[in-house]
């Protein structure tokens, strides 16, 4: 296992391109498991609708899920 050191890249959820400047647009919470984050590139991020749940989290500043 020799993974080369490279900048973290994420796949944009909208255009499916890899971006070195990912923008977190949503947090998906699975019924069982830690869930995962959804990223978009900077071009697509403004076009991604944010789910009401994420807005609630931003409004309250509190997170129910445990920290990793």
Which residues sit at the interface with Zn ion, rule CB under 5 A? Answer: 12, 14-15, 41, 44
Least Å distance between CB 53 and Zn ion?
22
The smaller minimum CB distance to Zn ion, of residues 31 and 46, is found at: 46
Burial 32-41 (b: 16+ CB within 10 A, else e): eeeeeebbbb
C-alpha distance from residue 39 to each of 2, 4, 61 (Å) = 26, 22, 20
- Which CB atom, from 49 or from 61, has the smaller least distance to Zn ion? 49
Q: How far is the CB of 23 from Zn ion (least distance, A)?
A: 9
């Amino acid at each position: 296992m020799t993974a080369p050191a490279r900048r973290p890249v994420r796949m944009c959820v909208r255009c499916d391109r890899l971006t070195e400047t990912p923008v977190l647009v949503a947090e998906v919470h699975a019924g069982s498991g830690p869930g995962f984050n959804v990223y978009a590139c900077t071009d697509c991020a403004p076009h991604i609708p944010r789910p009401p749940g994420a807005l609630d989290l931003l409004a309250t500043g509190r997170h129910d899920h445990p920290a990793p």
